[in-house]
A and B are shown apart, each in its own frame.
Chain A
């Protein structure tokens, strides 16, 4: 069995979008997500020697990140109780209502939708690892960040037809990768 090796210099390029997406759906705050990922990378560096190569680098980083996210919520929880939430229960018509009913659901998405979307995002990002670095970068800029063709061409110093060839290859790879589970 080939062992998984670790290479911290590649972490940011390879996994940051994956980790970021994983975090942002859980903490819903860009800045917090950014800090959590920083901490994850640093914790990863510190415990690098404990990495046995049984899991992939990404799985291993995610396991660290999960702990960081849990810690984040614990810290937040310990601050609870300092702020009091007052709910009017003396209104007869509302009596016996659960707290939950006071928190409106998002009307446009159900819980199942949100879970499925997260899985989908994960699947797409995992499939993107099959692309070359350049393909992945350009595809992301074009498709997810919505940059203009011209802007990308300038940045990478390529012609529009180069760009479309790269996009075409990326899309074909991704479609093949996702086909089994999502098409």
Chain B
């Protein structure tokens, strides 16, 4: 009876494991529980495949973000200009 409680997880927990997995932060048991859940849950299978695809896309897109320092410089530039006007 006990193993049921530990092995069978609900959708929200499966989603949580799935999200963690995208960042390689899911533990072994978490991954196992998630896979088991996916066997019988169609919605989570869909979520999981979309989630994997999203990770793939973000990696592929090679987005570059600017640093907070760079943003600060711009923000100050705008502020200064606005007070001058």
Please give the residue numbers on chain A whose beta carbons come within 8 Å of chain B beta carbons, in ascending order. 8-9, 11-13, 16-17, 20-21, 24, 34, 37-38, 41-42, 45, 117, 120-121, 124-125, 140, 142-145, 149, 164, 167-168, 171-172, 174-175, 178-179, 182-183
Contact = CB atoms under 8 A, between A and B. Distances in A.
A20 B73 CA distance: 14
Nearest to A11: B78
A168 B17 CA distance: 10
State the majority secondary structure of interface residues on A: helix
B77 interface: yes
Contacts of A140: 65
Given A125-B63, A144-B58, A144-B63, A45 B81 contact: yes
A121 B81 contact: no
Contact of B62 (A11, A16, A121, A171): A121
Contacts of A121: 61-63
B39 interface: no
21 contacts: A11-B78, A16-B70, A16-B71, A17-B63, A20-B64, A21-B63, A24-B64, A34-B66, A38-B77, A41-B74, A41-B78, A41-B81, A117-B60, A117-B61, A124-B61, A164-B19, A168-B16, A168-B19, A171-B54, A175-B53, A183-B53
Contacts of B54: 171, 174-175, 178
Given A17-B66, A42-B77, A120-B61, 7 more contacts: A8-B78, A21-B64, A45-B82, A121-B61, A168-B19, A182-B57, A183-B50
Contacts of B61: 117, 120-121, 124
Interface of B: 15-16, 19-20, 22-23, 25, 47, 50-51, 53-54, 57-58, 60-66, 70-71, 73-75, 77-79, 81-82, 85
State the majority secondary structure of interface residues on B: helix
A16 B76 CA distance: 13
A124 B63 contact: yes
Contacts of A16: 66, 70-71, 74
